[in-house]
Amino acid sequence: MKILICEDDLMTLKALEHKLKSEGYDTIIAHDGKQAIELLNSNREIEMLLTDLHMPIISGLELITHVRNEMKSNMPIVMLTRVGLEDTVLHAFELGADDYITKPFSPEELSLRIKRLLLKGKS
């Protein structure tokens, strides 16, 4: 399982990468949305996207749009953000996000949500 983590906060990025690798996931990291799109376009083995909402150059919402409309992919997408505004959450779901986690979050909760999405995709 290859997961792309797109996060501009280095501490959060490293924590996510460590947690996911310790659980056996293969991770690829991007520091902004532009880099994430380049990785998504060049690496079709990516099976899940974890993305922050607010990032330099291209936002998490724009990434969702790219995955769903340009790539025509149904890979699971989880939004990670400090913004818990209902309108933003609803907009992310309307664009095609599968889950939304507000920072700070429990690494165990994230792990369970990832497993749930992966099991859902296989059924």
Domain segments of the chain as ranges: 2-122
Token pair for residue 40?
């998504």
pTM of the model as a whole? 0.91
pLDDT of residue 17: 93
pLDDT band at 90 (very low <50, low <70, confident <90, very high): confident
- Residue 102: band (very low, low, confident or very high) from pLDDT cuts 50, 70, 90: confident
Q: Specify the CATH number for 2-122; select among 3.40.50.2300, 2.40.30.10, 3.40.50.720, 3.30.56.10.
A: 3.40.50.2300
Is residue 24 packed enough to be buried (19+ CB in 10 Å), middle (13-18) or exposed (0-12)?
A: exposed
Q: What is the pLDDT of residues 44-80, one digit of tens each?
A: 899 999 999 888 899 999 999 999 999 999 999 999 8
The reported pLDDT for the residue numbered 84 is: 63
**Average pLDDT for residues 79-85, to the nearest whole number?**
77
